[in-house]
Amino acid sequence: MSTLPSPPPSPLSYKKIIKEQEKEALKFNKVRYSCPAAIHEEEVIPRKSKSNHSVKFTTDPPKVFHYI
């Protein structure tokens, strides 16, 4: 590592850097949480499993296999 570490930023520029980082984080979170695939997956999978269980146990009894 031949490069010298950069000097610490002044307080004003440091605040700007933090604000920029927060904006980037917000953008990332918005993209992450507004992604239709992710929302689709989170909402549908639990409902699907619940509906499967309720249908299984209300319409026909669970199949029991007897092994000799």
What pLDDT is stored for residue 31 in this prediction? 55
Residue 4 inside a domain? The answer is: no
Residue 67 inside a domain? The answer is: no
Is 55 in contact with 48 (CB distance < 8 Å)? Answer: no
What pLDDT is stored for residue 42 in this prediction? 47
End-to-end CA distance of the chain: 71
Residue 27 inside a domain? The answer is: yes
Residue 38 inside a domain? The answer is: yes
Task: Please tell me the total count of domains within the chain.
Answer: 1
What pLDDT is stored for residue 41 in this prediction? 46
User: What is the C-alpha to C-alpha distance for residues 23 and 13, in angstroms, rounded to an integer?
Assistant: 15
Q: What is the pTM of this model?
A: 0.30
pLDDT tens-place values along the chain, 68 residues long:
455 566 665 667 878 888 888 888 777 666 555 555 544 444 445 555 555 555 555 556 667 777 76
Residue 65 inside a domain? The answer is: no
